[in-house]
């Protein structure tokens, strides 16, 4: 395997096209819709561990990108705090620097849904 200019693992062999992470994901979980992209939950572009990957829309992947205010650990913390009734959605929004409607989508699995 090699790493491309964007830091993603790929196969230099012309018989296998595309990035390696998608191939490993498909090997473990089966076919993926062509309009979905690979999100590296571990934030390591070189990672090909299917357990660290999730297939999402490009829009969702962009929301989760480097400029996103939330990452996977913060999302889990929001869900845990909300499910334990420790904080309201409004309080969580203030704590994590996002709007209440975003927290609502996170706790209702509309954003950052698990694989």
Q: Is 78 found in the same domain as 58?
A: no
17 and 28 both lie in a single domain = yes
Domain with 61 in it:
1-66
| Least confident range of 9-23, 49-63, 66-80 | 9-23
pLDDT given at position 115: 46
Helix axes 100-107, 72-83, angle to 10 degrees: 80
Q: Residues 55, 3: one domain?
A: yes
C-alpha distances out from residue 32 to 20, 39, 75, Å: 14, 13, 24
Query: Distance between CA 16 and CA 10 in Å, rounded?
Result: 9
Kindly state whether residues 13 and 54 are assigned to the same domain: yes
Prediction pTM value: 0.59
| Cα–Cα nearest to 29, from 66, 9, 54 | 54
Residue written as tokens 């699995």? 109
Residues 57 and 109 in one domain: no
Tally of domains in the chain? 2
């Amino acid at each position: 395997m090699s790493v491309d200019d964007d830091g993603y693992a790929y196969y230099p062999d012309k018989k296998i096209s595309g990035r390696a992470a998608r191939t490993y994901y498909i090997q473990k979980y089966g076919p993926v819709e062509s309009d979905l992209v690979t999100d590296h939950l571990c934030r390591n572009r070189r990672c090909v561990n299917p357990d660290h990957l999730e297939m999402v829309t490009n829009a969702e992947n962009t929301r989760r990108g480097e400029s996103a205010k939330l990452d996977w650990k913060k999302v889990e913390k929001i869900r845990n705090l909300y499910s334990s009734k420790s904080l309201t959605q409004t309080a969580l929004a203030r704590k994590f620097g996002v709007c209440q409607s975003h927290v609502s989508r996170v706790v209702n699995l509309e954003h950052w849904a698990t694989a």
